[in-house]
Amino acid sequence: MSLQFVNQYAEKFADLVTEQPIQPNGMSQLRLFNRTLWQQLGGSENAEHKLLKQLDGEQDWPGIRPLAQKYAGHQFGHFNPYLGDGRGLLLGEVKTPDGSYRDLHLKGSGPTPYGRGGDGRAVLRSSIREYLGSEALAALGIPTTRALLLTSTEGHVQREQLEPGAMLLRVAATHVRFGHFEHCYYRKLEAEQRQLWDYVIERQWPELKNASRDQQFRRVMESTAVMIALWQSYGFIHGVMNTDNMSLVGETFDYGPYAVLDQYQPEKIFNHTDQTGRYGFLQQPGIGLWNLKRLQMALSLSLPVDGFTAVLDDYEAVIQQAFFKQMKQRLGLTQVADEKAYSLVGGWLQLLQQHQLDYNMSFLQLERWYTHQQPVPFNELGKSWLQEYQQAVGGQPDIATMQSVNPLVSLRTHHLTRVIEASEQGDDSLLKDYLKALTDPFNRQYWQSQWAQPPAPEDQVGQLSCSS
């Protein structure tokens, strides 16, 4: 069975794309292939080597229609009209066997008209980070793009230093971003903007095709809010929440200098280019709302947006409710009244920050306190919280729920660094082992695994680079 391509984007939105072929960077070597995802798309088994030849230009790939997309965006709060796919191509739109639609997008496929002089290439380091990051978040139930295939290329790429090149084949519900609508607003493309909005709504949320514009915008708002609430509940920091990195359907998009909290230091800034801390962990909910307001402004070109203000007034309640729901589950408070649970969640976060405890590990230690009588590293203030917690849960929290939502294995920068260094030397054994653990994160057999271990003091993550 082959993929069912239904490419209509280029035909409908010719002013928003430039068609061009893949430009391989020498011969490629297959490093990772997501066979399960490939089959969900409708692909046949054992197709990875044929797919590799197609991406390298050795064989035709019937059905694809590679194109670079044009968009704009607010970057670190400042509008930039000169953005677009600078190193990636939308290869095609696929209708899957279950009737849903997915985009195939190849990163590192060569220069495009929107690359602003860039080389259009990707490096192995950042491509591994995106592959592992997206698959890890998917396993946690966080909406995200997915990784289908990773190759290293014969050609190397110059960044801060010369690095191994790579290509990453990414899958998304859609690659339409907030920035697409900002581009239309900037260029006064009224008809195209309205048609693009309708196109995404009909493809991704067909039940909303005939709904009011306010109802459609509410779905975008809610999807964005829930995604960010789940980021917050698992300690994920995106790092670059520019509007051109915001998916219209609320999928985690464009993995750059992301991190996951080790020690609970919510004020820490991980992106070294984020001098003002605009995209820090605690700022993410507010930036989500700020970005939605930019989307509302852009859509004023073609849609009646007055009602969107009332929709955005509900954003804070939606994100708080989604965060609280997840935290109740993580703490086993599913049978505790909301008012009491709110107090316990707040107290828990205060304890983690006060004691500089490992964020995700602390949930596991709380569970092990009940299941294995292992101590929890709190002082007297913490013991007071534990006493209050025990009283609230009636002596026993919802252990089964805790074990279904608290990962033993999570994205940790010191593990990523070690894995990448080995893969850059040609050894993918650690990469594949870490990927296996990340995609089965709730398996309690990983308790003694190397991948469950937090960093040593000397391995604490510093700031990360955007370069890719």
Q: Is 456 left (phi over 0), alpha (psi -120 to 50) or beta?
A: beta
CB neighbour list of residue 187: distance below 8 Å, 6 or more residues apart: none
Please, are residues 168 and 89 in contact by the beta-carbon 8 Å criterion? Answer: no
The pLDDT assigned to 44 comes to: 86
Region of residue 46 (phi > 0: left; psi between -120 and 50: alpha; otherwise: beta) = left
Residue range 248-255: mean pLDDT, rounded? 97
The yes-or-no answer on residue 244 being catalytic is yes
Residue 465 has pLDDT above 70, yes or no: no
Catalytic residue among 56, 85, 103, 244: 244
Residue 280 neighbours by CB distance under 10 Å: 18
Q: What is the mean pLDDT of the chain?
A: 95
Q: Give tens-digit pLDDT for 175-213.
A: 999 999 999 999 999 999 999 999 999 999 999 999 999
Range in 51-60, 208-217, 315-324, 399-408 with the lowest mean pLDDT: 51-60
Q: Does 213 count as an annotated binding residue?
A: no
Q: For position 266, what pLDDT does the model report? A: 93
d(CA 204, CA 199): 9
Please give the Cα distance from 324 to 394 (Å, whole number): 20
Check the annotation: does 87 bind a ligand.
yes
Q: Residue 280 annotated as binding?
A: no
Which pLDDT band holds residue 274 (cuts at 50, 70, 90)?
confident
Q: Is the pLDDT of residue 219 over 90?
A: yes
- Please tell me whether 120 is known to bind a ligand: yes
Is the pLDDT reported for residue 273 higher than 70?
yes
Judge whether 177 is annotated as a binding position.
yes
Indicate the helix (H) or strand (E) that contains 78: strand 78-84
Q: How far is CA 61 from CA 5, 36, 92, 151, 448, in A?
A: 11, 20, 11, 17, 45
The mean pLDDT value for 263-287 works out to 92
pLDDT band at 461 (very low <50, low <70, confident <90, very high): low
Cα gap 452→219, rounded to integer Å:
36
Instruction: Report whether 328 belongs to an annotated binding site.
Output: no
Confidence of residue 95 (pLDDT cuts 50, 70, 90): very high
Residue 332 assigned ligand-binding role: no
Percent of the chain topping pLDDT 90: 89
Alpha-carbon dihedral 464, 270, 105, 173, rounded to 10 degrees: 170
Pairing of strands 78-84, 28-33: unpaired
DSSP-based three-state secondary structure for 290 = helix
